[in-house]
Amino acid sequence: MLVVMQEGATEAQIEHVIARLVELGFDVHRSTGVIHTVLGGVGGNDFDPSLFEVMDGVKEAHRIVSPYKLASRNFKPGGTVVKIREVEIGGNRVVMMAGPCSIENHDQIQRCAEIVAASGAQVIRGGAFKPRSSPYSFQGMGEEGLKILREAADAHGLLVVSEVMDQTQIPLMLGYCDILQVGARNMQNFNLLKELGKVRKPILLKRGIAATIEELLLSAEYILAGGNYEVILCERGIRSFETATRNTFDVSAIPVVKKLSHLPMVGDPSHGTGRRDMVPAMARAAIAAGADGILMEVHPDPDRAMSDGAQTLDEPQFRELMTQLRGIATAVGRSV
Ligand code: PEP
Ligand code: MN
């Protein structure tokens, strides 16, 4: 904890801050510079720096240690590899997770599984419970959809990732999925995160629509603190003032997270852009930036998809992209 006093802060103000730091259990080191007095607090309890920033005579206050512990890179400097059967997420190979936004019917998922497996991807995605902005939009097939997805995945040697929307769905989802996805809208559903901490299956945690990287890592901390160490983070675009794309795909979040945390990080260029014609460029960028995987939407007939068709690639587009991604991965010392 570091508190920088304002120029001309009085001795009484400085003493007041020191007293408060001591109360919070900090060992205080005072350094008097030409202009500013800086108070360094070592040890002590975690607290909100803004509580100090509003005190008289204080210019700024900062945490020295990160507010998340288990998610921090220091906790596991070598990085985490999430291993599911032979698939390693966080290893050298960039893992491809692809499939439709929503599970729609048996034939659609069978075709998707064929496309995904034939391209060399390892994981099929598809939502059975859909978090739609409008209550009148298609809400997903539920358990019937999960059955279809699991069958198609097993027939093609693929793993399954699908979104869990609330804690009551967890037992059902565990029966069908290899990875449980927490959607952007649920990144700060702390009750759900706590329950997922008790689960012993990997969780793919998407960044919230307006979440900072620190908030993403604190949400991961909830799951880790519950004892589930298999968390995969996902950049899926954030809301900004820009309207040319559905979201602003924050490519820089990938190297930032890789530096701050030991957890694997994947990129979702589909939700990240909302536009099929922009998806390949952002998928390439994500791998170049160090992503451990790509999660993206693919459908045999995207124009007729029941959700997110505009950001979904068809088979030829996906095949072409996979070829490009192999080249990008090689250029950065990895494989796809
Ligand atoms: C999805 O993956 O289909 C989805 C709803 O994603 P997000 O939570 O990122 O919007
Ligand atoms: Mn979608």
For residue 57, the model assigns a pLDDT of 97
> Residue 1 has what pLDDT?
84
Amino acid symbol at 278: M
The pLDDT-based confidence of 170 (bands split at 50, 70, 90) is very high
Helix or strand holding residue 101 (H, E): none
Length of the chain: 336
Contacts 24+ apart (CB under 8 A), 162-170: 162/103, 162/125, 162/126, 162/127, 162/128, 162/129, 163/127, 163/128, 163/129, 163/130, 163/131, 164/129, 164/192, 164/196, 165/129, 165/131, 166/192, 167/191, 167/192, 167/195, 169/129, 170/195, 170/196, 170/199
First to last CA, the chain: 42
What domains, with CATH codes, occur in the chain? Answer: 2-62 (3.30.70.1140), 82-331 (3.20.20.70)
Q: What is the mean pLDDT of residues 142-167?
A: 98
Nearest Cα residue to atom 8 of ligand 1: 183
Protein residue with its CA nearest to atom 4 in ligand 1? 183
pLDDT band at 47 (very low <50, low <70, confident <90, very high): confident
Per-residue model confidence (pLDDT) at position 63 = 87
- Ligand 2 centre and the CA of 307: distance in Å? 6
* pLDDT tens string 258-310: 999 999 999 999 999 999 999 999 999 999 999 999 999 999 999 999 999 99
Q: Which residues face 31 on adjacent strands?
A: 38
Q: What is the reported pLDDT for 134?
A: 92
64 CA from centroid of ligand 2 (Å): 38
| Ligand 1 environment, Cβ below 6 A | 101, 127, 131, 183-185, 206, 236, 271
pLDDT 10s digits, 137-148: 989 999 999 999
pLDDT at residue 32, as a whole number: 87
Residue 155 CB contacts under 8 Å (≥ 6 apart), including other chains: 110, 113
State the average pLDDT for the chain. 96
Atom 9 in ligand 1: residue holding the nearest Cα: 184
pLDDT tens per residue across span 205-252: 999 999 999 999 999 999 999 999 999 999 999 999 999 999 999 999
Closest listed ligand to the CA of 204: 1
| Substitution candidate for ligand 1 out of 101, 233, 296 with most atoms within 8 A of CB | 101
Taking only the tens place, the pLDDT of each residue in 121-136 is 999 999 999 989 899 9
pLDDT of residue 278: 98
Q: What sign results for the dihedral spanned by CA atoms 232, 203, 322, 312?
A: negative
Q: Is the pLDDT of residue 257 over 80?
A: yes
CA–CA separation, 233 and 231 (whole Å): 6
Query: What are the strands, taking DSSP E only, across 129-244?
Result: 159-163, 179-182, 203-206, 231-235
CA torsion through residues 248, 194, 169, 134, sign: negative
**Per-residue pLDDT, 23:** 94
Per DSSP, the three-state class of 15 is helix
Which H/E stretch holds residue 173? helix 170-174
Question: Could you tell me the pLDDT band of residue 42, with boundaries at 50, 70 and 90?
Answer: confident
DSSP state of 268: -
Please, which pLDDT band fits residue 22 given cuts at 50, 70 and 90? very high
Tell me the percentage of the chain whose pLDDT exceeds 70: 100
